[in-house]
Structure 1
Amino acid sequence: MSKFISGEDRNQSTLFPESLEDYVSEDNTVRVIDVFIEELNLAELGFKGLTLKSTGRPKYHPATLLKLYLYGYLNRIQSSRRLETECQRNIELMWLLGKLAPDFKTIADFRKDNGGGIKNVCKTFVEVCRRLNMFEKPVVAIDGSKFKASNNKGNNFTPSKVKFHIDRVEKNIERYLELLDEADKEQANVTKIKATKDRLADFRSQLKKLHEIKEQVEAHPDKQISTTDPDSRLMKTQGFTRVVSYNVQSAVDTKHHLIVAHDVTNVPDRGQLASMTKLAQEALRKKDIRVLADKGYFSQPDIKDTIDLGAEPIMPKTDTSSSEKKGIFNRSLFKYDANKDIYLCPAGNELQNRMQVFEQGKYLDVYFNHIACRDCKIRSQCTNSKKDPRRIRRWVHEVLTEEMLQKLKNQPELMLHRKQTVEHPFGTIKLWMGATHLLTRGLKSVGTEISLHVLAYNFRRMITIMGVNGLSKAIRVALP
């Protein structure tokens, strides 16, 4: 054993350093956490508990609990109970909090009661990054990721799921009624009959609850309910699995991979482009930004709204045409001539602009040619209708999407750049969370939890870029 590194004798008396300061190195992360929180005006950011009453027990200052949470999320400690434990044994936290050790209830209540303030701190740090010229190139990548909610899949109900459970319970009731009849005919013992009746009563009680849930599902706008976390929704994830979750949106800077803006929703990505672009513009204080997104965001009205905001959206188009499944020509084979405002069909005939309709919130020009379609030799490959001609619908602002798709065609590497940018923050945050669900419930509380994750992620990125001492100095300059 003499050749191995040996520890000290546990009974050996030692002289520990005289102060906690000696335990914390100059480049320790807790030092920059302390600088950042101390520079904030917590009253302006909307934190509660800053005004004290003349009587009663003293409170913990919000800055103390905010430091605790930022440290916890930076070190993969998000649970209030685990944070309570760390306060009693972690030397770094003893230094950061001045040996204060709040109980888990106080820690949890702070996060619950100061959601607005925590979100404003997250925005303030993004503003610090902006003042430090971290966003020189106004290009952001937008994406959404599903975060598992604190709601078991078994406690989420849709019309098809409720019907399945009702059918299953009704079959069990029929089976136990038959068993009860058989027991009566065979004059079975009282214990067996009583057990059968008890089981039958349980199933009838279940059936009554399921019918109540069915009424709630049918009355709900989304046609689904979650009993544990009412705001969570059953959504598709990668691999086409369905998970009760929240859809977290983020806009990420393509240069330093900093999260510029984020939001928490319980709806799919489509329709979120303009709202996320607006949040990114407000954070960057720039209108003319380029926004990269995947095909899940493709929505023509949303693209126009984004352009109207002054931004430049870039994303691929989804092919939602069912023509190929029907055995007829795909819409992409019909070529538009902007000069003549006509479409050329695969047979070379001209389809004129005949009328305008309003469908699904959009004004569409309708192109067709009765005569040419009636006498066409390949009509059977173009339409299954025996009377009506093939009609091509064109959005009145479709030139906007065509120009966007042309830009993407000229720069196909943009989609790879988008993926390499926006997937990194989500992967990092989920790694920090571990293989678990969100700790809080409800859109408001989940929004606060995600804000803490985003703040910690951005904080870690800036420490990586500038170092502890460099970031500390920069914060003092950016937050006078």
Structure 2
Amino acid sequence: MKSNVVWKTNSQTQLSLLPPSYDDLVPENHPVRIVNIILDRIDIRSIENTYKGGGTSSYHPRDLLKILIYAYLRNLYSSRKIEQALGENVHFMWLSGCIRPDHNTISNFRSGKLKGKFKKIFNQVVILLAEQGYLSLKEIYVDGTKIEANANRYTFVWGKSVKTSRSRIEKQLKELWRYVETVYAEEEQRPNGPDNFEAIDPDQVSRTIDKIDQALKGKDIDKKVKQKLDYAKKNWPKNIAKYNRYEQQMGGRNSMSKTDPDATFMRMKEDHMLNGQLKPGYNLQAATNNQFIANYTLAQTTADTTTLIDHTEDFIKGYGKPPRALTADAGYGSEENYTYLHENDIDAFVKYNYFHKEQLDEKRGKQKRPFAADNLFYNNETDTYYCPMGQPMENIGSYLKKTATGYEQKINRYQAKNCAGCQLRSLCHRSKGNRIVERNHKLARLKAKAKQKLLDPEGIAHRKQRCWDVEAVFGNIKQNMNFKRFMLRGLDKVETEIGLIAMAHNLKKVSLAM
């Protein structure tokens, strides 16, 4: 060993008169200080009021809230790992003041005390950050992403399967009664049939089965029919009760998970195959500004179109007024959404389907399809379309069409007078009679207005910013924060969990900006 090497002194066994302060071990601009400062300024009386008092002392909810948010900021989502960090990590010790709540206390606070109350706390923090200039609530960028639920991927219920199974029971009940009728075919006195065979109510199904059984009592019946009747008595009423429970839990959805009934099966690409596998999950909708999350909601539908109004209403509820401008991609472009945004005086920079294709075709100089309904000449004064041959297509009536959300659209129908012998008929349409086109004039006007706004300088700027604003947030949550699957189950609980993620994301950005 070289004699000129100097080793640093190890003071492990050195006694000290005073122990070191944790405050000396935490850097001045460390994220844990940001969490502590901001949460000290937040009103949490809504949580404090849930404590009844009496008995032993309780950990203060503000302390538990600080611990949870800082844990999520550090990608710690397990209550057991948070408990461990409180005894090993200097920053957790400093933040908590050396209190040591166990994992049950942390878990119960997250899934119980915060349920339904965290959103107001989140809104307070966002307002505070907006006042400090980190983000603006006047212009928001909206998009959605799907996050896997904490549910079994293989125990699922499909709405169509429930309807098919119910219809099968109805069909078999009718077949059993037809068998009764064949048994009594040669007798003058026949039993009256059941009031109905609809397999809706378990008691009604049970009464129908009993009536069939009574009608066949004492008769020489087929052995297979007897077996089916015994099986029906034992299983069909409870199966109908189960189907009713499933339909009530789905609430109009097409699927659900048995282990988390609030979760819907959605296509996700966050797996090693990247092939869009169906997994139980929730559709996270986020409104961002300057890559800060201004608002979040969770939807149980796979499509983004039907989520925009509820998400914007939640924004208005949280901040008292709507944003001045809202930018979103083509997944949100619908007549109902455009109408809602217009009625609430929100500048909508929202794309519609085929917007990009239109721009690409124009850029390439591609000719428009002259026979497409969108490209036919329309005379607004006479309410008449003209086909490529110049033949007028007059209005032959209209009808109302309801969307999945119950919104009514008015569809007008126009028909050509005589397509027989037309040289362009094979290119124009393939129907047997004269051509009929259907047009939604309101949607066409809204699309034209949206296109004008999207192509003006302000619209172009918003479209460019949307890509790196909201999508970068999702990338940070899923990749940097490694949050790809919820820890909790049930819509109320996962809303709290995604709120903790959103606040952790915002506070981490604040710490990076300092």
Flag whether TM exceeds 0.5 (same fold): yes
Q: CA RMSD in A?
A: 3.5
Using a 3 Å threshold, how does the CA distance of structure 1 residues 49 and 216 change in structure 2: closer, same or farther?
A: closer
Which digits, 9 at most, give the CA deviation of each residue in 1:114-152, with x for residues without a partner?
A: 223322211111111232344458221111110000112
Q: Contact 1:236–1:243 (CA<8 Å) still a contact in 2?
A: yes
Which digits, 9 at most, give the CA deviation of each residue in 1:261-303, with x for residues without a partner?
A: 1101111211112222233345555546221111212221122
Using a 3 Å threshold, how does the CA distance of structure 1 residues 369 and 42 change in structure 2: closer, same or farther?
A: closer
Q: Contact 2:393–2:417 (CA<8 Å) still a contact in 1?
A: no
Is the partner of 2:122 in helix, strand or coil? helix
Is the partner of 1:259 in helix, strand or coil? strand
Using a 3 Å threshold, how does the CA distance of structure 1 residues 331 and 447 change in structure 2: closer, same or farther?
A: same
Quick one: which of 382, 399, 402 aligns to 2:428? 382
Which digits, 9 at most, give the CA deviation of each residue in 1:31-79, with x for residues without a partner?
A: 2222222222221x444555532xx211111111011011101111111
Quick one: which of 294, 298, 321 aligns to 1:260? 294
User: Could you tell me how far 1:163 is from its partner in structure 2?
Assistant: 12
Instruction: Kindly report which structure 2 residues correspond to 1:242-321, keeping only aligned pairs within 5 A, or say none.
Output: 242-253=278-289, 256-267=290-301, 268-283=303-318, 285-287=320-322, 289-318=324-353
Using a 3 Å threshold, how does the CA distance of structure 1 residues 67 and 122 change in structure 2: closer, same or farther?
A: same
Q: Mind listing any 5+ residue stretches in structure 1 that lack a counterpart?
A: 166-203, 321-326, 468-480
Percent identical among aligned pairs is 25
Q: Contact 1:274–1:303 (CA<8 Å) still a contact in 2?
A: no
Using a 3 Å threshold, how does the CA distance of structure 1 residues 312 and 217 change in structure 2: closer, same or farther?
A: same
Q: Does 1:398 align with 2:444?
A: yes
Q: Which moved more, 1:366-375 or 1:301-310?
A: 366-375
Using a 3 Å threshold, how does the CA distance of structure 1 residues 405 and 331 change in structure 2: closer, same or farther?
A: same
TM-score of the two chains, using structure 1 as the length reference: 0.76
Is the partner of 1:244 in helix, strand or coil? strand
Residues in 1 aligned to 2:8 and 2:374: alpha-carbon distance in whole angstroms: 74
Q: Contact 2:391–2:417 (CA<8 Å) still a contact in 1?
A: no
Is the partner of 1:152 in helix, strand or coil? coil
Give 1:71's aligned residue: 70
Is the partner of 1:39 in helix, strand or coil? coil
Which digits, 9 at most, give the CA deviation of each residue in 1:387-445, with x for residues without a partner?
A: 24222222435312220122223445643432221111111112254265200001000
Residues in 1 aligned to 2:454 and 2:264: alpha-carbon distance in whole angstroms: 33
Q: Contact 1:273–1:297 (CA<8 Å) still a contact in 2?
A: yes
Give 2:499's aligned residue: 451
Is the partner of 2:440 in helix, strand or coil? strand
Instruction: Kindly report which structure 2 residues correspond to 1:28-43, keeping only aligned pairs within 5 A, or say none.
Output: 28-43=30-45
Using a 3 Å threshold, how does the CA distance of structure 1 residues 415 and 336 change in structure 2: closer, same or farther?
A: farther
Q: Contact 2:373–2:437 (CA<8 Å) still a contact in 1?
A: no
Q: Contact 1:42–1:117 (CA<8 Å) still a contact in 2?
A: no
Residues in 1 aligned to 2:431 and 2:6: alpha-carbon distance in whole angstroms: 86
Q: Contact 1:47–1:117 (CA<8 Å) still a contact in 2?
A: no
Is the partner of 2:154 in helix, strand or coil? helix
Give 1:177's aligned residue: none
Using a 3 Å threshold, how does the CA distance of structure 1 residues 5 and 252 change in structure 2: closer, same or farther?
A: farther
Is the partner of 1:126 in helix, strand or coil? helix
Larger radius of gyration: 2
Instruction: Kindly report which structure 2 residues correspond to 1:191-230, keeping only aligned pairs within 5 A, or say none.
Output: 220=250, 221-230=252-261
Q: Contact 1:139–1:291 (CA<8 Å) still a contact in 2?
A: yes
Quick one: which of 395, 398, 408 aligns to 1:353? 395
Q: Does 1:237 align with 2:238?
A: no
Quick one: which of 356, 360, 376 aligns to 1:334? 376
